[in-house]
Amino acid sequence: MDLLESLAGHLPADVEEAAELETIRGFVERHANPFDRAIAEGHLTGSAIVVSADGACVLLLHHRKLERWLQPGGHADPGESSGEVVALREAREETGIQGLRLHASAPRPLDVGVHPIPARPGEPEHQHLDLRYLAVAPRGAAPSPRAAEARAAHWFTWEEAAGFDLDPGLRRALAKARARCDGATRPA
């Protein structure tokens, strides 16, 4: 499915996500390669809400630079033009878990978000326009995070994850993932 087509079918959960979705759709319409990091205003990123095979737990990474618990995800590699591909590759690289797959019945994307990235030496302030997908780990998967990016990676119950100081967009994405996993349709 084409990216604009999948975004057109995305149903936002609240007014914040609706505004972020419109920002992302406009961005994709303006840029032939919206994943290109050379675009001054920002670029698309892909991330994954990774759940255990039984859907009872979610995997979060303690981000080294930001000092917070986040979902795995990041930038596209050259030639990548699919949020699904970016999200799964980044999740595999950052968690060390092979065999991750997209949830069979979850919307694609599950959630969208836009967040500012502060200026750093050699890089101006810009936006990350994040496409978030629901991914399922194989049974018994044990994370081994990349030390350069994450201080830790842990499986948390939904209740434990709800107790963290998470940004509103991640909180919303986790609620969507939990609803999908708690519903009649279990991860495939």
Q: What's the CATH number where 17 sits?
A: 3.90.79.10
Domain membership of residue 73 (yes or no) is: yes
pLDDT tens profile 25-42: 999 999 999 999 999 899
CA distance 4 to 7: 5
Domain membership of residue 132 (yes or no) is: yes
Domain membership of residue 187 (yes or no) is: no
Number of domains within the chain:
1
Contact 50, 97 (CB under 8 A): yes
| pLDDT of 187 strictly over 70 | no
Domain membership of residue 151 (yes or no) is: yes
Among the listed residues 82, 81, 61, the one whose alpha carbon sits nearest the alpha carbon of residue 133: 82
What tokens were used for 108? 């694609």
Domain membership of residue 24 (yes or no) is: yes
Determine if residue 146 is left, alpha or beta; phi over 0 gives left, psi from -120 to 50 gives alpha, anything else beta. beta
Among the listed residues 65, 60, 66, 76, the one whose alpha carbon sits nearest the alpha carbon of residue 170: 60
Domain membership of residue 15 (yes or no) is: yes
Provide the b/e sequence for 4-23 (b: ≥16 CB within 10 Å): eebbeebeebeeebeebbeb
pLDDT at 178: 97
pLDDT at 185: 40
For residue 146, how many C-alpha atoms fall within 13 Å in the half-sphere facing its CB?
Answer: 11
Model-level pTM greater than 0.75? yes
Range of the domain at 123: 3-182
Domain membership of residue 20 (yes or no) is: yes
Question: Chain-wide mean pLDDT for the chain?
Answer: 92
CA distance 107 to 83: 13
Q: Give the CA dihedral 53, 58, 61, 67, nearest 10 degrees.
A: 180
| pLDDT of 61 strictly over 90 | yes
CA distance 99 to 138: 6
Domain membership of residue 64 (yes or no) is: yes
